[in-house]
A and B are shown apart, each in its own frame.
Chain A
């Protein structure tokens, strides 16, 4: 590793803080490897959206299933093939099979699930069944 002094000479009061935070991130990654893929879940009254970071994964290698209120992501991150005689100088990326189950806030109808994969981010939109939606009850005038 190379740590030139130039980074310290820049007039940026937050540079050190950021570096410490980043080093901490690196430490945390080594100590507690996070589940793969990391997911975010978004929600409103009509639907839920699950996004997952899957860089380098081919869409054909991702299997999405929905049963009741559980969404399952399964697949494989395939390691790139190196030419014969090639040497790895740096290996930070992870490869191999993965599987994750995500609990949804409602029982989903598998026919109302849509998935898109763009720039290494998977986005799954799940419509909430009509019967499951919160309903507003009007107060009748007496």
Chain B
């Protein structure tokens, strides 16, 4: 069964700019199972309500907006990471059902499940009389 599956989710280049903030490409894991795909994307610092998911013409775009966590009246003494927004796009193959996408967010990780589309039913084409 798994060999027949040709689900393809490839990262696509995006020319989008952000509003001045650094934009990271979230580290992503993708698991494919019989029922569909599961994507897990790391977006630390992003609250569930600040995630935007859209599908347009087979391209899934995920954006996460970070709310700066700088404590008030503190100066940065040591820095190993910079906060930023997240953005990544994936092209979905046609055997996936974009309407069935479900999203969950926990501990800064967004989990998307994308079900496989129901197999297109064979369609009979009627020949119209002249």
Contact = CB atoms under 8 A, between A and B. Distances in A.
Interface of A: 1-4, 6-8, 10, 12, 14-15, 18-19, 22, 34-35, 38-44, 47-49, 51, 53-59, 80, 82-83, 85-94, 105, 117-121, 123, 125
Q: Which of B14, B15, B109 has the most CB of A within 10 A?
A: B15
B45 A120 contact: yes
B75 A89 contact: no
Listed residue (B10, B28, B30, B31) with the most chain A CB atoms within 10 angstroms of its CB: B31
Contacts of B74: 42-44, 47, 49
Contacts of B42: 55-56, 93, 120
B33 A82 contact: yes
A78 to B, nearest CB: 11
Interface string B1-26: 11000010111111101000001010
B13 A82 contact: no
A86 to B, nearest CB: 4
Most buried by B among A1, A80, A89: A89
Contacts of B44: 53-55, 119-121
Given A7-B15, A44-B74, A93 B40 contact: yes
Contacts of A80: 29, 31, 40
A121 B69 contact: yes
A68 to B, nearest CB: 18
Interface stretch (B76-84, B96-104, B118-126): B76-84
A92 B27 contact: yes
Nearest to B106: A56
Contacts of B2: 85, 87
Interface in B26-62: 27-34, 37, 40, 42-47
Contact of A121 (B15, B73, B76, B108): B108
24 contacts: A4-B13, A22-B25, A41-B76, A42-B70, A42-B71, A44-B75, A55-B44, A56-B40, A56-B107, A57-B107, A58-B107, A59-B107, A82-B33, A85-B33, A86-B31, A86-B33, A88-B32, A90-B28, A93-B28, A117-B107, A119-B108, A121-B44, A121-B45, A123-B71
B73 A89 contact: no
A6 B13 CA distance: 8
B19 to A, nearest CB: 13
Contacts of A55: 42-44, 107-109
Given A7-B14, A90-B29, A119-B47, A42 B77 contact: yes
Contacts of B1: 85
